């Protein structure tokens, strides 16, 4: 089995067959973030609810300069028929491409296959930045669908962290200790450790925090509140 890519590595180059034609990853999304998510199978209950949920939040992903792309080991014709069925049944257009991987080659390369089945993908999420670098990987079991608001929150948090060079606390922007504030990076010397106590609000020199820009907080909260 090939070595599975990890956080911080470049997303492996590959050409894939999708419902929008053949595309090359990660170059197809160069300059944009993209969220690649796998689902166990077309025409299954939980996966159907997820595709509806992702589709309804598609514009929110686009506002964050991000695209979606799905994947399962079904054929492109199965994907097309299922997407057609979702549109007819729920009046929901699936706007993103879906990778057809009937031989499981892509799923195996990305570590998406279920331990108990060589032909069934778990619910994996890859968050890839505009340079093609993997920034986050999430795994969900077949039995539980994903929370789309949390994926959007994660994406927004990564972007804020990159932009302002700060870490973000648990449940940001609504953390139990520091609310919507950002965590100041750790000091690099004893002198800096003592000086930062005068420059920031701190619980101690290794846990200091500062205000996040208001517009970033409002956008993040809006993503969490929207259903």
Residue 49 region by backbone torsions, left for phi larger than 0, else alpha for psi between -120 and 50, else beta: alpha
Interval 13-56: pLDDT, tens:
999 999 999 999 999 999 999 999 999 999 999 999 999 999 99
Task: Tell me if 140 is assigned to some domain.
Answer: yes
Same domain as 177, residue 210: yes
| Residue 89 to residues 39, 86, 160, Cα–Cα distance (Å) | 20, 5, 38
CA–chain centroid gap for 188, Å, is 31
Q: Is the pLDDT of residue 160 over 70?
A: yes
User: Residues 79-107: pLDDT tens digits?
Assistant: 999 999 999 999 999 999 999 999 989 99
pLDDT, position 116: 60
Name the token pair of 166.
């700060």
Q: What pLDDT sits at residue 225?
A: 81
User: In CATH, what number is assigned to the domain containing residue 170?
Assistant: 3.30.1020.10
Q: What is the pLDDT of residue 98?
A: 98
151 domain-assigned: no
Residue where the block lists tokens 């929901």 = 92
In a domain, 9, yes or no: no
Please give the pLDDT value at position 119: 64
Higher per-residue pLDDT: 22 or 224: 22
pLDDT band at 11 (very low <50, low <70, confident <90, very high): very high
Has residue 199 got a pLDDT over 60? yes
Q: What is the β-pairing status of strands 97-100 and 201-204?
A: unpaired
Catalytic residues, by residue number, are 47
**Number of domains composing the chain:** 2
Q: Which of 121, 146, 171 is the last residue in one of the domains?
A: 146
88 and 28 in a single domain? The answer is yes
Helix, strand, coil share (%) of the chain residues, nearest 5:
35, 25, 40
Task: Provide the mean pLDDT of the chain.
Answer: 94
Q: What pLDDT is attached to residue 120? A: 72
Decide if 212 is inside a domain.
yes
Residues 19 and 116 in one domain: yes
Which segment of 26-35, 114-123, 204-213 scores lowest on mean pLDDT?
114-123
108 lies in some domain: yes
Would you say 33 and 65 are in contact if contact means Cβ atoms under 8 Å apart? yes
DSSP state of 10: B
CA 213 and chain centroid, separation: 23
> Which stretch of DSSP H or E encloses residue 140?
strand 134-140
173: domain range? 159-225
pTM comes to 0.94
Residues 197 and 205 sit within 8 Å (Cβ to Cβ) = yes
124 & 47 share domain: yes
- Residues 140, 44 share a domain: yes
């Amino acid at each position: 089995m090939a070595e599975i890519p990890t956080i911080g590595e470049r997303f492996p180059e590959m050409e894939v067959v999708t419902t929008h034609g053949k595309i090359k990853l990660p170059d197809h999304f160069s300059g944009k973030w993209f969220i690649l998510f796998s689902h166990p199978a077309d025409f299954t209950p939980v996966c159907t609810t997820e595709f509806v949920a992702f589709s309804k939040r598609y514009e929110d992903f686009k506002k964050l300069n991000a695209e979606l792309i799905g994947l399962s080991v079904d054929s492109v014709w199965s994907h097309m028929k299922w997407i057609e069925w979702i549109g007819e049944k729920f009046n929901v257009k699936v706007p993103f491409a879906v990778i057809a991987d009937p031989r499981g080659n892509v799923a195996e390369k990305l570590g998406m296959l279920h331990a108990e089945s060589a032909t069934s993908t778990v619910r994996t999420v890859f968050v890839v930045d505009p340079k093609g670098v993997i920034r986050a990987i999430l795994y969900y079991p077949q039995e539980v669908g994903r929370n789309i608001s949390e994926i959007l929150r994660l994406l927004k948090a990564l972007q804020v962290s990159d932009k302002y060079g700060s870490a973000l606390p648990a449940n940001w922007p609504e953390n139990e200790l520091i609310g919507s504030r950002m965590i100041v990076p750790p000091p690099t010397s004893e002198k800096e450790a003592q000086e930062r106590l005068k420059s920031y609000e701190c619980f101690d020199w290794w846990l200091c925090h500062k205000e996040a820009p208001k517009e970033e907080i409002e956008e993040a909260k809006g993503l969490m509140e929207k259903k």
